[in-house]
Structure 1
Amino acid sequence: MSPPLRNDRQLSELNTPQRNRYFYGKLMDVLHFDLEQEYLIAEQRRGNRLLLGPGVVCGLQVTVIRSGGERGLRVGPGLAIDGWGRRILVPDEFELLPLRLTDEDGVPAPDDDGPLPRQLILSLCYRECRSGFEPALVPDPLCDGPAHSEAGRWVETYALHVHEGTAGDVVRECMPELGELLHKGRIQEALCLLAADCPELPADPCVVLANVAVGPRGALTITDCLPRPVAPTNRMLLQLLICLNERIEECCRHDTVLLKVGAVRLLMGNGPDAVLDSPDERRVIPRGREPLGFEAEFTGAPVDQASVVMDSSVEVLRDRTPVTLPVAWPAPQRLRCAVRNALEPGAYTVTLRGEGPAITSAAQPPDDAEPLDGEAGRQWPSGDGTPGGNFVFSFQVDR
């Protein structure tokens, strides 16, 4: 006697898996071979349902066709996963011509010559049928009767179901609590939120392919994207990530203009100013030409003049002793620190701070302000391309 038909829904549920344990002398019969197949089938379907999700994987495009005054639909080849995790493979184009209502097995309704409803749903459903009938040594008297044959294969096929109605649009929204966790960078908690619930098996596992509107004269209009669920494969997700990255670069990226020191000159009271050739030059001023102070010219971003404070963001040392100089702005980007008379002889070290308390750029809102890029090098402007870092220069006034 043939074993009872397996329960497709049960194979997709969260049941305890059972598989064969082989040992020498074990008698294998239909029950054990079915157990082997059902274990593998169940693992595949649960994986499809929980890891990938239901929907169209590829293809299955729906188009309107017309022949001899009849209107219908053509469904292209493709692959889908239904609500129970079963793969539905459509290997070739299939035409529904003329278009008629069908039963759940895709069989057109008999003697249905009336007009079609104004709104139709086209769904793709998983079906199995028996094939490869052959003589059976032990036939099933209830099913086979005198034929004494059994089907040797299951064929995993499909049915196109046309029925009245309109399928709702597939809506994919970000959960508010999920968005909040991601905004705060709490990735692990976001993953825990997503993994909290296992999706339940739907009562109707079929995959909606399109909504079809029927016009007054039988014209067909297809909506085949919004009501169609899509199973996002790794290939799709990778392409989405590439496009999202390009979109972020396009709309959200802003090249930060760094605040740097573009030049430093020593203000000479009795001759032309002494311009430093490089940010790390140590200039020696001979006796009799003592400078009044210095000017630092900023470049790049506009400087926030309020952030320039003597003995705080600006430090001047003479022989390692702090010196307070007046602060002035001859131009918006030019800082002057000078006295009326000459600076006293000694070794001067000037620090324009890029580390707190730092000289910063002017920005709105203030949170967008960047600290001075003050890392000194061999060329002007100073900086290493990263916000922050003190700019230090030295000069010697001989005694």
Structure 2
Amino acid sequence: MTYPIRPISEAEWPAFSGVLQEGFGMTPHPSQEARWKAGTEFDRTLAAFDGDTVAGVTSVFSLSMTVPGGRLPVAGVTAVSVLPSHRRRGVLSALMRRQLADVRERGESVAALYASEAAIYGRFGYGRASANLAFQVRTDGTDFVPGAPHDPSLRLRVVRPAEARADYERVFGSVVGRRPGRYARDESFWAGVLADEEADQRGAGPLRSVVAEDDGGVRGYALFRIKPSWDDDGVADGELSLQELEAVDPAAYALLWRSVLDRDLVSRVHAVSRPVDDPITALLANQRQVRARWYDELWVRLVEVDRALAGRSYGAPVDVVLEVEDGVCPWNARRWRLSADATGAECKPVDDEPDVSLPVAALGSAFLGDGLLAAQLGAGLLREHTPGAVRSLATAMAWDPKPWAGLTF
């Protein structure tokens, strides 16, 4: 069967929301759904119809995302779901293909998403492009290493999160360009970050905040919740859930972490989402205090290989011919010569013999600077025709710091 696909109108929101609630098995609080709806770009929100029934949906946020060496417009894919009654009928495939065609038509060369299930999106050319750490730190024995940055001009100030948004925005605007994967936040994203109704708290307590500042203004902030608790002996055993910690310089960063770790009546800090190379692991003298779990984060899809690869910087010179395999976006399925150095990059179609043959998802996984090209070669997922070509490509595409978005979209 074929299912007509088109953007929905605002009046069709209940049907759109209903598919997501069935697909994800969740029922959002009315306030959460109102924020979600307010941030929806309806002209980029697609539905597949079975008669009058909305059988599947997907949407896009128009993001400005940091990539190695700069920024690009990126299609932030979200809200992908199919009714349980319509699984295995090609609804998802039809939606993904239509969406990628629309992304290309809008001039975006890259799409990115958070995957609810890691096995789904490789079929559509997405590759795992960044990772995320969730970790817990016992607050006892968390001294910093000698020489940890310290600025006597800095001081801490407890603030009400709802009243400090302008400071948060200034700090975030200063750091968003430093790490690939981070993206600019509009009104709806900030509303979600600072949301603090009972449904948002999930039993972890109200949103709290402390800022690090000097006479020139705020240089960093931490957002967190505290769930108080005591053990059977009456010893405080509270948990602090760190939502965000951003700072413009190392001294402010260290002071904010010190404030979080030294919080009274808290025995452990749970960081919900942090980059894999978070500097806190270098600051702690006893790094074994960190109990970390690794998760995949952003998945990236090169919608137009040539424009995407030419739109980022490279950490080392490279000149390779790539034979790209792409069964979803056929305009990518050909040979491309990628030539890049410190002055720039270009990617042009060629008929030359390839140095490497690889699926487009492999390039997506490496695009933000944290790819697994060597591992994929070892697994037999890439074919290297010129010895050393994969190492050359992987070295050129690697980037520091590691990519991380930090806020699910």
- Normalising by structure 2, what TM-score? 0.18
| Higher Cα Rg, which structure | 1
Which protein has greater RCO, CA pairs closer than 8 Å, 6+ apart? Answer: 2
- Normalising by structure 1, what TM-score? 0.18
